[in-house]
Copies of this chain bind each other. A is one copy, B any other.
Amino acid sequence: MVTVFGMSLSGNCYKVKLLLEQLGRQYVWQEVDIMTGVTHTPEFLAMNANGQVPLLEITPGRYLAESNAILCYLADDTLLWPAEKLQRAQVLQWLFFEQYSHERFIAVARFICKFLAADHPRRAELPHLHERGQRALAVMEKHLADHAFFVGERYSIADIALFAYTHCAADGGFDLSAYPAVGKWLQRVRAQPNFIEMM
């Protein structure tokens, strides 16, 4: 059975939990509070030199890092990562979009608004984060205006990855009512079998 080292409040960790639940896989969840600095201890760095969660322990002592790589590993040979070559690559395209053009603005805005003090100096980053996050949401809105899901008109790990921080974007000060196709897609994701909400 795999073990997930993760923090329940993290969207990147929620992706892995949601996928495991939807696949009906058994797993051990090892809660890790990154706020305590535990991911930068020698013990944790020996498991993941990049000091991040989620981290998947596949077999004792064998680890896989990076939330979206974990999604690909766990969804391989399931309907949630299509086998057809171009669709597989299109899923990867959206996974890289999520990490490079979406998460680092929308998740970071959420972190600043939700977990830091109201007068924290990092709030100065918010205008930039909002501008870039809105650009990512607009790319999603444009795609979802014509498509039910991100790839091949069926639910996949691309939807799981993008759902993780989109559904809670309001926590970071984003107004999702400006993106109606995104809103309808969020409901379609919530209607999938074995869906669970983030903690």
Contacts and interface: CB of A to CB of B under 8 A. Distances in A.
Interface of A: 49-50, 58, 62, 64-70, 72-73, 76, 85-86, 88-90, 92-93, 95-97, 99-101, 103-104, 139, 142-143
Nearest to A138: B49
Contacts of A96: 66-69, 95-96, 99
Contact of A58 (B58, B65, B86): B86
Dominant SS among interface residues on chain A: helix
Given A66-B100, A96-B99, A99-B100, 4 more contacts: A50-B139, A62-B86, A64-B93, A72-B88
Contacts of A49: 139, 142-143
Contacts of A90: 64, 69
6 contacts: A50-B139, A58-B86, A64-B86, A69-B89, A72-B92, A73-B85
